[in-house]
Amino acid sequence: MPKPPKESLLEQERYELKQRSGGGVLRYEVWGYREKNRTIVTRYNIAYINHDLCRKDNGRVLGYDNAHGYHHRHYMGTVEPCEFVSYETTVERFQREWQEVVTQMKR
């Protein structure tokens, strides 16, 4: 039986946002491996953190990850399971929702 590939840190990004962009921090952390010109994501954690907007969940306003054996969404201190199609789809959803949060905050 073949040995499973060893996962490694594929991406780790942190962006400090200026106040006009909502303030806070965007964080992306992705683990996985490469196989035959494909990237296989095994673990991920993406988050918008802003302690001025949310004091719960370590300031995580919005986030997605697959820790604890299931895919889930964090929003203002609550956690709920979410449908998972792909990591790329999850990132797109996260970016869209993060921008919506910032737009509503500016109103």
Residue 3: inside a domain, yes or no? no
Q: Give how many domains the chain has, as a whole number.
A: 1
Residue 5: pLDDT band with limits 50, 70, 90: confident
- Cβ atoms of residues 97 and 76 within 8 Å: no
Is the whole model's pTM more than 0.85, yes or no? Answer: yes
What are the strands of the beta sheet with 72-75, ordered from one edge? 8-16, 25-35, 38-49, 60-65, 72-75, 78-81
- Collapsing DSSP to helix, strand or coil, 7 comes out as coil
Q: How confident is the model over 7-12, as a mean pLDDT?
A: 95
Residue 2: inside a domain, yes or no? no
Q: How far apart are CA 77 and CA 10, in angstroms?
A: 27
Q: What is the pLDDT of residues 36-72, one digit of tens each?
A: 889 999 999 999 999 999 999 999 999 999 999 999 9
**Beta carbons within 8 Å of 8's beta carbon, 6+ residues apart:** 31, 32, 33
Residue 1: inside a domain, yes or no? no
Instruction: State percent of the chain over pLDDT 90.
Output: 81
